[in-house]
Amino acid sequence: MSIKAALNRMHYPVTTLGYGRRVGLWLQGCSIRCPGCVSQDTWEAGNALQHIDVEEIARVWQRWLPAADGLTISGGEPFDQPEALLALMRAWRRDDTRGGDILVFSGYPLETLRARHRTHLRALDVLISDPYEAGAGDTRMLRGSDNQRVTLATALARRRYPRDINTLPWSDGRRRLDMVVAGDDVWMAGIPRRGELARLQAALRERGLTCATSQQPRQSSQPQQPQKLQEQPQLLPVRA
């Protein structure tokens, strides 16, 4: 039986969410819904761009594997789709011949994931866990808030990422966003500073422009229909 993932976005290259140039997957649906989350458009499970077979997703990333340094899976909440998450990680390990790392973001506490998803944790290299807390500060690298923890689960992760990453601040020039223009849409991937999207909206309003951001929940009155993954996946929008 095929396993399907509720997918919000897929993109390559992503350079702001882990080591090197990465394939990025954003899954759709989140039951945690942290106040202040910058990805509120991924909360509603019925708003997926597509419910798509994991093997179809793997077919798309084949063209990127010769150059990709790893896979980053975010959301939404990846562990709300545990079967699809595990299938995606196993498919990446099967296909990746360069030894890239797998990094997964989750809003669940580390202790909860250890209790419920030990098999999943053995399949990844890097885990960034714990709920986003707007008042905790946002000074530490690869995290939306400073309470979140980074687990370097494998020897590969410990070679690629700083051993002191849990206390390491963003360095000058390291905190940036990937950006791509697709038609009339501009999409960004990365971890913005607190309030950065609101400042962007305000600056655009001053110039007579309007925009919606991923910090706004997507309307769900008309569920989207499943569709085939685009034949030009590099044009799939990137999200923040």
The amino acid occupying position 176 is: R
In DSSP notation, 158-223 reads HHHS-TTTTTPBPPTTT--EEEEEETTEEEEEE-PPTTHHHHHHHHHHHTT-----TTSPPP-SSP
**Among 127, 66, 53, which Cα is nearest to 96's?**
66
How do strand 50-53 and strand 4-14 relate by DSSP bridges? Answer: antiparallel
Hey, CA dihedral for 194, 81, 221, 184, is it positive or negative? positive
Hey, CA dihedral for 113, 114, 117, 122, is it positive or negative? positive
Query: For the segment 4-20, what is each residue's pLDDT rounded down to a tens digit?
Result: 999 988 999 999 899 99
Query: For the segment 148-195, what is each residue's pLDDT rounded down to a tens digit?
Result: 999 999 999 999 999 999 988 876 556 677 777 767 777 667 666 666
* CA–CA separation, 201 and 14 (whole Å): 23
Report the percentage of the chain scoring pLDDT > 70. Answer: 77
* CA–CA separation, 128 and 142 (whole Å): 8
- Count of beta carbons in the 10 Å neighbourhood of residue 49: 19
Query: For the segment 121-154, what is each residue's pLDDT rounded down to a tens digit?
Result: 999 999 999 999 988 988 888 998 999 999 999 9
pTM of the model: 0.82
C-alpha R_g of the chain:
17
CATH fold for domain 4-235: TIM Barrel (3.20.20)
